[in-house]
Chains A and B, each alone.
Chain A
Amino acid sequence: MIPVPPAIQRIPWKLIAILAGITGFGLLVLYSAAGGNWSPWALNQGVRFLVFLTAALVIGRFPLRIFEDFAYIAYIGILILLIAVELLGFVGGGSQRWLNLGFMNLQPSELMKVAIVIALARFYAQLPPGNTRTLTALWPALVMIGLPAALVMLQPDLGTALAICIGGVVVMFVAGLPFWWFGSTAVAGLAALPVLFSFLHDYQQKRVLIFLDPESDPLGAGYHISQSKIAIGSGGIGGKGFLNGSQSHLDYLPEGHTDFIFATMAEEWGLIGGLALLFGFFLLLRWSTRVALKARTRFGQLTAAGLTMTIFFYIAINLMMVMGLAPVVGIPLPLFSYGGSSMLTIMTCVGIMLAIENDSKTGTRRFH
C-alpha cells in the first residue's frame, strides 16, 4: 500500500464528495434548465462552488477559539448592518435587504443566520450549569433572537426571520433549558397564530391563504405551487428524462432554476432523482450531527447543532414549499438552487463545522 501523506489525509474527502455530489447534480439540472446550456447558470454556479468550497476548507483550518472569541462582535456588527439596511430602505423608500458593497450585494440577514447560532452558543457555553433553569438563561437569548428577527421581519422577509428564530431556539433547546418552556411556548404560539397572521403583510397573508387552497388562484399567486406540483407529479418514478422537462423548458414553472429547482429536477429525474437528492442531504446532515455529538467543547456542540438545524431548515422549508406543504416563502434549496447568497451561508456553516470537527480531533473532551 502506498502511504497516504498526512496532509492529504487531513482533507475531509468524504464531506467534499457529499457536497460535490449534491452540487454536481444541481449543475446538471441547471444545465437542463438553461435549455442544455452551461450558461448562464451552471458554469457560474460551478465556479462559485469551487471558490466557496475552498473558503470553507480554509475556514475549517482556523482554531475554534477564534469563532468563540469573535462571536459577540460578529453578532453585534451584523445587527448594525441590519439596522443600516433598514435605514437605507427607509431613506430610499420601499424595502431593502442588501448593502451594495461595490463588488457584491451583501445580505446581512443571511449572515445573521450563522451569527445568531454562534453568539447563542457562546452565551450558553459561558453560562454556569446551575443557571440553566433560571431566567438568566432565558431572557438574554430571547433578546438576542428577537432583535434581528424583528429587523428582518421589517424588511419584510418572513423566511429568513423564521430561519433565525429556528436556529436560535434549537441552540436554546440543546443547551438544556427546561423542556416545558418549549412545550408551553409552542402551545401558546399555536394559539396566537391568528394574531401573528394579522401582523403579516398583505402579500404574505395572501401567500399563506393561497398555500391553504392553491386552486383558488391558479393563474395568480397559486400558480407557483400548482405548476411545481404538476412538474413533480408528471415526472413519475423515472422522470421524463434529462433535458425533456416540458414544465421547465416551456417556462410554465416559475423560478425553475432558483427556488423551484427541485421541481425542475423531479420532472426530469422523477422520484428516483428526488430520493437520491434527499439521501445526499441526509448524508450531509448526518455528518454535521455527528460533528455536534463528537464536539470537544460545549461551544462546538451547541454551534454544530444550531448550524445543522439552519441547513436542515433551508432544505425542509424549500421542499415543503415546492411540494405544496408550505407557503411560498422564497427559500432556496441549499447547494442546488442557483444563487450565491445561500451557498455562501451554507458553506460558511460547513466551514465552521469543519473547524469544530478538527478541534475535536486535537485534544480531549472538555467542557467549561
Chain B
Amino acid sequence: MPKKKSPPITEAWRGLTFTRRALVVGGAQAAVGVALAARMAYISVVDNDRYVLESESNRVNLTLVPPRRGWIVDRSGKALANNRVSLRIDIIPDRLHNKELVLGQLRTLLRLDGDTMERINRDLKAASGFQPVAIKEDMTEAEYSSILVRLPELPGIAPQRGFARNYPTGAAVGHLIGYVGAPNAEEYQKAKDPLYITPGYKIGKDGLEKYFQDMLKGQPGARRVEVTARGKVVRDLSTQADVQGKTVHLTIDADLQEFVARRMGRESGAAVVIDCQNGDILSFVSMPSFDPNSFSDGISSSEYAWLRADDHQPLINKATRGLYPPGSTLKPMAAIAAVEHGVDPSERHTCVGGYRLGSRFFRCLGTHGSLDMPSAIMKSCNSYFYWLAHRLGYDAMAPTARLLGLGEEFQLAGSNQRFGTIPDSAWKMKKYDQQWSASDSLNAVIGQGYVLANPLQLAVMAARIASGRRLYPRLINREFKNEPLPFSPEALAVARQGMDLVVNGAGTAVRSRLPLDGITMAGKTGTAQVRGLGTGNGKSGTWKFRDHGLFIGFAPVVNPRYATAVVIEHGMGGSRAAAPVAKDFMTFLFDREKAMEALETFETGWGGTIKERMDRDYAAWKAGASQPDPGLPQ
C-alpha cells in the first residue's frame, strides 16, 4: 500500500500520529490557557492600583463649585463690588449632539438676540471637549425653570445656580475697580487650574479686581457625583463647600465716589479726592466710564464697539492714563519754588498785558497792573510768573514740582499710570539734544510747553500743598512715612493764601465758593490749550479743539481736610468747567443734602442718572449703527 518513501504509512502509523498531534494541539491549548490566566492575574493583581484609580476617575465626576469672590468695600464697609445669586445655563460641547436643534430651542425659549448667538457659536468653536460654554447668565426664575422642565430634550445643557459679580454703583466704579471676566485660553494655559474652565468662574481682568485676584479668589468647593459614561448623574457622593475670597478694604468713600461720578455729568474728565491727613484716596473717578457689570457678564461685541466708538473714550482711565498740560494749576507750586529761592512774596511786578523776552512778547490774559505773589496767584497772572521764571530759570522750579508729586509714578494698587513730564535743561538735552531756553522756562511756568501731568498727580500736589507733608496716595491701608516737605512755612503759606484768594477773594473761581457757613475752599483754576490747535480760540468751536478745564483745591482753608484735582476735557476753562464740579463734591463732603439737591437739578437737565443716560445712548447708537451712515455721538 505505501507508494513512496519510508516509513510506510499505515493505518496504525496514522492512528499514532493522530494521538501524538492531538496531544500537541491539546498541549498548545493548555499553554494558551495558562498564559491567559497569567495575563489576567497580571492585570488584576500587579496593575490593580492603576486600574482601580482609572475606574474611579471614570465613575466619579468632580465638579468644582466656583468660590464666591471676596467683596471690595469702601472705608466704611459699604460694598463697591459684591456677589449676587445668578441662575445660569451652559453647554457641554462634548455632550451636545444636535447643535442646531438645541441652540434653536434655546434661542426661542430664552429670546437670545443675534449678538448672543454669535458669541455662543464663537465660543463653541473655540471650546474643547468638556469645557462648558456659557449660554446665559442671570436668568430669571421663569426662564430657568422653562429650561429645567425641558432638560431631557436638551442634551448637553447644564443648568447651574451660582454667583455673579455685582457692582452696585455700576459705571461710577468702572475705572477704579476694573472688572472680572471668564478666563481665556491663554490664562488657562498659564494657570493650569481646572477651576479656570469651570463655568461661572471669573477672574479679575482689570484694575483692582486683577490686582487683588489672589486675595479675592477664595477656594473652590467640590461636588463629587457618580456619573454614567453618557454623563448622567447617578447620585451625589460628597459635597465640600467653597471658601469665599477675602474682603479688600479700600480708602474710597463709596458715597463720594458715586456723587463725583454723577456730578461729572456728560463731560469727559477725571476727578480725584485725597484725604489731607493720611493720603487716602477718597474718590477716584474717570468719566465717562463703562459699566463693569456689563463686562463681568461677558460684554456683547456691539456694546464694546459702542464704547470704543465714543470720542469721550470711556475705556480709558483718565485719572492716571490721561496726560494734560496742567496750565495755571502749577502757579502755587511756582510760588513755593520762588519763595524757597529767596524771592520776597511781597515784591511786586507790574503786568502790562504780557512779558517781553528778547524779541518775543508773551501774552497775559489780562492787564493786571502791580501784583504781589498771592494776588498774582489769585488773578492767575501770567506776566508775574513769566517774570519769576525768567529770573530764576525752570531748573530751580522743577525739583519743587517733583517734590509735590508731579512727574512721579505712584505705587498704587491696580493702576496703570502715565506719569507725564516735568522738564528741565538736562531732560531737554537728553530728549531733544537742545539747550534749555528762557522761553521754555516761560512756557513751563504756566503749565504749558513740555509740562504734562495726570489728574492723580495734580490731586497729590494739592494735598501736599495743603498739608505741607509729602503725602503718598493710597487705595488700601498701607503705611507711608508722609514726612514734612522741606519747604519753609512762609512759602507754603503764600501758596495757600493765593489759592484762598482764588476762590474767596477776587480770583478766577469766586463763583465756586462753597455754599456753606464757616467752611471755605481754596483752589487754583487752570486752562490748558489743546495741542495742534487748528480752529477757533479754544473757547468755542469743535469740541475736540476746545481748551481743557482744570482745577486743584482743598477745603477747609484752615486745617485742610480734603484735597482734590478735577480735569474736564475740552471744558473751555478751569473756572467755567472744573471748579463748579469741585465746589459741588466738596460741598457733599460737608453737607450731603445740599449737594444732592444741586446734583438732582443738574441730572434732570442732563437726562437722568448715569445708567439711564448710558442705556439710552447705547440704544440710540445701536439704532444708528444699523443705518448706513452712523453719525458720531455728540
A14 on the B face (CB < 8 A): no
Interface string of B1-37 (1 = CB under 8 A from A): 1111100111101110111011101100110110011
Determine, out of A185-193, A244-252, A345-353, the stretch whose residues face the partner at the interface.
A244-252
Residues of B within 8 A of A234 (CB): 48, 51-52, 54-56
Determine, out of A26-34, A82-90, A146-154, A168-176, the stretch whose residues face the partner at the interface.
A168-176
Cα A130 to Cα B3 with chains together (Å): 6
Chain A nearest CB from B301 CB (Å) reads 34
Asked whether B33 lies within 8 Å of A174 as measured between CB atoms, the reply is: no
A45 on the B face (CB < 8 A): no
B44 on the A face (CB < 8 A): yes
Residues of B within 8 A of A319 (CB): 36, 40
Write the chain B residue with the least CB distance to A306.
B25
A156 on the B face (CB < 8 A): no
Give the total of B residues in contact with A, Cβ under 8 Å: 48
Cα A134 to Cα B56 with chains together (Å): 60
B228 on the A face (CB < 8 A): yes
**Which residue, A176, A285, A323, has most C-beta atoms of chain B within 10 A?**
A176
Cα A285 to Cα B31 with chains together (Å): 13
| Known contacts A174-B21, A271-B45, A278 near B36 by CB under 8 Å | yes
A161 on the B face (CB < 8 A): no
Write the chain A residue with the least CB distance to B21.
A174
Asked whether A129 lies within 8 Å of B10 as measured between CB atoms, the reply is: yes
Chain A nearest CB from B32 CB (Å) reads 5
Cα A305 to Cα B25 with chains together (Å): 9
B234 on the A face (CB < 8 A): yes
A70 on the B face (CB < 8 A): no
Asked whether B19 lies within 8 Å of A293 as measured between CB atoms, the reply is: yes
Asked whether B48 lies within 8 Å of A323 as measured between CB atoms, the reply is: no
Give the total of A residues in contact with B, Cβ under 8 Å: 55
Residues of B within 8 A of A133 (CB): 4-5, 9
Write the chain A residue with the least CB distance to B4.
A133
A222 on the B face (CB < 8 A): no
B41 on the A face (CB < 8 A): yes
B226 on the A face (CB < 8 A): yes
B594 on the A face (CB < 8 A): no
Write the chain A residue with the least CB distance to B13.
A129
Asked whether B44 lies within 8 Å of A132 as measured between CB atoms, the reply is: no
Cα A247 to Cα B52 with chains together (Å): 11
Residues of A within 8 A of B18 (CB): 174-176, 298, 301-302, 305
A332 on the B face (CB < 8 A): no
Residues of B within 8 A of A235 (CB): 44
Contact among B11, B37, B55 for A129, CB-based, below 8 A: B11
Residues of A within 8 A of B391 (CB): none
Residues of A within 8 A of B5 (CB): 133
Residues of A within 8 A of B234 (CB): 250
Residues of A within 8 A of B55 (CB): 230-231, 233-234, 246-247, 267
Residues of A within 8 A of B22 (CB): 174, 289, 292-293, 301, 305
Which B residues lie at the A interface, using CB under 8 A? 1-5, 8-11, 13-15, 17-19, 21-23, 25-26, 29-30, 32-33, 36-37, 39-41, 43-45, 47-48, 50-52, 54-56, 58-59, 226-230, 234
**8 nearest A-B pairs in the assembled complex, by CB-CB distance:** A233-B51, A234-B55, A176-B17, A251-B229, A246-B59, A234-B51, A250-B228, A233-B43
* 18 pairs, A vs B, C-beta closer than 8 Å: A130-B4, A133-B9, A174-B18, A176-B13, A230-B54, A232-B51, A233-B47, A233-B50, A233-B51, A233-B52, A266-B44, A271-B41, A274-B44, A278-B33, A282-B30, A301-B18, A302-B18, A323-B40
What 13 additional pairs, Cβ within 8 angstroms, besides A174-B22, A233-B47, A251-B228? A129-B9, A130-B2, A130-B4, A176-B18, A232-B51, A237-B48, A246-B58, A250-B59, A250-B227, A266-B44, A298-B18, A319-B36, A319-B40
